[in-house]
Every structure is written in structure tokens, then in C-alpha cells.
Structure 1
Amino acid sequence: MARTLPGPSIESLDLTMILSALAEPGRRAMMTELYRHLEPVDCAVVVEKVDLGLSNATISHHCRVLREAGLVRTVAEGRRRIMAVRRDEVEKRFPGLLNAVLASGGNS
């Protein structure tokens, strides 16, 4: 059975938390890959494409930080984690932010 993991409401999205989450290169690489997908994607697919060579625990931590910052919505399906960028919500709260940080690749 699928369940949506908790995350902040649009009203409580905090710019400092978002920028802090995106400041870490591994998380920024994951977000850049997620940003390329308009539909939700399995976290394992993102990790495989980004190929950061991180442990499962570190990947789980990065996914949690992105969710807690309000950047992604995560649905747990058994052991799988399906993630989607909260584009419209983040755009409404901070216009142009995701495009500015992620559209160019965001890996620098």
C-alpha cells in the first residue's frame, strides 16, 4: 500500500532550508535529475543515473532532507520511494528559484 511521506505545507516552505538542502552537491545532483522529470520517478532510478557512489543510508538521508525542505513529494510503495519535485508549489512561493538553481545542470 502506498503512503505519502510527510512534508511541509506550501506556507511553511523556508528559503534558508531549501538553499541549505541544495547547497550539498549530492542533493543538488539528485534534484537536478528529478527536475528533468515532469512525472514522479523512483528514487533508485535517480540515484542510478546520478551515480554518486553513495551508501544507501546517505541516499536515504539526502532524500529525507529534500523532502523535509519541501522540495519533493515522496510516496512510499513498499521499499520503493517515488519522488516528484514540488514545482508548482515552490514556484508559487519562490518564483524562478528552481529554474535558476537547477535548469543549467546545477552541478557546479
Structure 2
Amino acid sequence: MDGNLSSGTYIWVAPVDQMTPHLEVKFPAGEFDRASLSNAIDAHIAGATIPAGALELQIAYKLYLRGQQDFEDAAQLYLLFRETVSIDQLEGWIGQLGVDEEYERLKSI
């Protein structure tokens, strides 16, 4: 596994015979990967606690990727965690990533 990660290959972890839910494991490769780690939240999965990127950054980054599936992923996170997401933090990432139009579309769903 370390060889795959070192070469830049992502590793998906998901329940057997399922695509979702899943975790994506990789080494940080850029500014937003490092920001994701430094602003991580604790995810509790199967009795273990692992760091996960802050929801605000995950949503904004999915919008930044601009693919249809990425928008749907952002929408799912936004709708599921709307009550707990920090709008100030989310809008800060939206501004940094330059995805204001995509965010307006997201807010309208």
C-alpha cells in the first residue's frame, strides 16, 4: 500500500461489493490537501477515529472540480450537513477557490 501511495495512486476503502460509502486515502500533494489535513475533523468509523477533511473544504473543492458527479457529491454533503457546516468557513473556501457561481447553484437546491 505504501508503494501505491508513494507513487501518487489513491486507495479507496469501501464495504465489500459497494462503491459507497467510501474513503479515499492518499498522501497530501498540494495546498488544499495540506489545508484539509490541518483543518481535519474526527470521523468515527467502525469503532476507529480517523482524520477527515473539513466538510466546508470538501464541499468547496468538489465545486472547484466542476464535474457533474463532483457537483452531486458537493450537494449531498451540503444537504446532509447543512445544519452543522460553518457558512463563514464554507464561503471562505468558496472565495479562495473561485467557485462563487457554482456555490450559488448549490444554494438553490
Q: Same fold (TM over 0.5)?
A: no
Larger radius of gyration, structure 1 or 2? 2
Task: Calculate the TM-score normalised by the size of structure 1.
Answer: 0.31
Question: Which protein, 1 or 2, shows the higher relative CO under an 8 Å CA cutoff with sep ≥ 6?
Answer: 1
